[in-house]
Amino acid sequence: MSEVQDDLEHLKAHALSQPLVEHIYTADPSAHVFEGRIWIYPSHDIEAGIPFNDNGDHFGMEDYHVLSMDRPGGEVTDHGVALHVDDVLWAERQMWAPDAACRNGKYYFYFPAKRADGIFQIGAAVGDSPAGPFTPEPSAIDGSYSIDPAVFEDDDGEFYMYFGGLWGGQLQKYRDHVYDEANDLRADDEPAFGPIVARMAADMVSFAEPPREILILDENGEPLLAGDNDRRFFEAAWVYKHQGRYYFSYSTGDTHRLCYATADNPYGPFTYGGAIMTPVVGWTTHHSIAEFEGQWWLFYHDSTLSEGVTHLRCVKMAKLTHREDGSIETLDPYPG
Ligand code: FUB
């Protein structure tokens, strides 16, 4: 056994938790409690045979499966294909990290995909069951761009979509929400790119307002800088509320951490709070957070199931703890 394989075996043996399913590769788990059951909306990883690059073209996913369980540790059901790229008129490839929401008994599924011109947008699809299938809208959500939609329902019944991702996610190509191929990453001493937010319209398949950029501030109230790779937003937005505060959590991408920031309203600015999880096996790290019967859970992925292949991942879940002061205890995915 090589040294690398030896290390992987050790990490697998000492993992915080095990894959929720092993019959398919899954990633980017967005978890919700609908109708008293835990529903997980993951990416469905496949070996698409596309060479690796920094744009993530090797993440060539084509469809989505929905997973569910009646309780943590319960049997996980795979509800089969809920949506396929061939059924989406506007999309051509790369069905990346999705999310879902429920409003007035209807279920809405949100997903990023590349159009034929290679530009990512975010689509919506509608169904009558949390398991799908979902019927896609004929066009992408007007005003949406980049990747990784996460839809948060506030206590007043308003829904907000958070989205955006750097590098292959194309967020750096936008200024004031307009794409230009000539745009690129900001200099290290400039403010970091923020995630984007827009309130959803009542139809849940369009925005009620123009998208706006969110600021994440440091401990001195200054915007995190583009060169602050350990703390700045990269991709994989998620929002939830705990004890009246809004928690925005995300991946730092090239430094492979899950971090969070808090605010007193859904638009921010958010103030950086700390790390939720240290790096996992594999390049990407992407999560969601949900409460089930009074316990908070972190849903995340790593690449242990494929022995470290970065685009063949497996979703997992672990208990998450908020301290009395609202801060989050940092999890080590391989504590042994
Ligand atoms: O799964 C494809 C991409 O990898 C996601 O959209 C990102 O968040 C990263 O997990």
Over the stretch 295-307, which tens digit does the pLDDT of each residue have? 999 999 999 999 9
User: 110 in a domain, yes or no?
Assistant: yes
Q: Is the pLDDT of residue 4 over 80?
A: no
Closest atom of ligand 1 to CA, residue 28: 10
**Greatest pairwise CA separation for the chain in angstroms:** 57
Phi and psi, residue 253, nearest 5°: 60, -105
- 334 in a structural domain: no
State percent of the chain over pLDDT 70: 98
276-311 b/e with 16+ CB inside 10 Å = b? bbebbbbbbbbbbbbebeeeebbbbbbbbbbebebb
Q: Which residues line ligand 1 (CB under 6 A)?
A: 27-28, 43, 59, 96-97, 147-148, 165, 235-236, 284, 286
In tens, the pLDDT along 134-178 reads 999 999 999 999 999 999 999 999 999 999 999 999 999 999 999
**Most ligand 1 atoms within 8 A of CB, residue of 45, 62, 148 to mutate:** 148
Candidates 297, 298, 305; CA nearest to 278 is 298
User: Does residue 217 form part of some domain?
Assistant: yes
Is 277 within the bounds of a domain? yes
ipTM confidence score = 0.98
Return the residue whose CA atom lies nearest to atom 5 of ligand 1. 97
Classified as helix, coil or strand, 250 is strand
Give domain status of residue 249, yes or no: yes
What is the mean predicted confidence (pLDDT) over 84-103?
98
In a domain, 335, yes or no: no
pTM of the model: 0.97
210-219 pLDDT, tens digit each? 999 999 999 9
Domain range holding 73?
Answer: 3-329
Give the model's pLDDT for residue 9: 84
Question: Which of 28, 45, 148, 228 is flagged as catalytic?
Answer: 28
Please compute Rg for the chain using Cα positions. Answer: 18
Structural domains in the chain (count): 1
Domain for residue 80, yes or no? yes
Query: Which CATH number characterizes residue 90's domain?
Result: 2.115.10.20
Residue 315 lies in a domain: yes
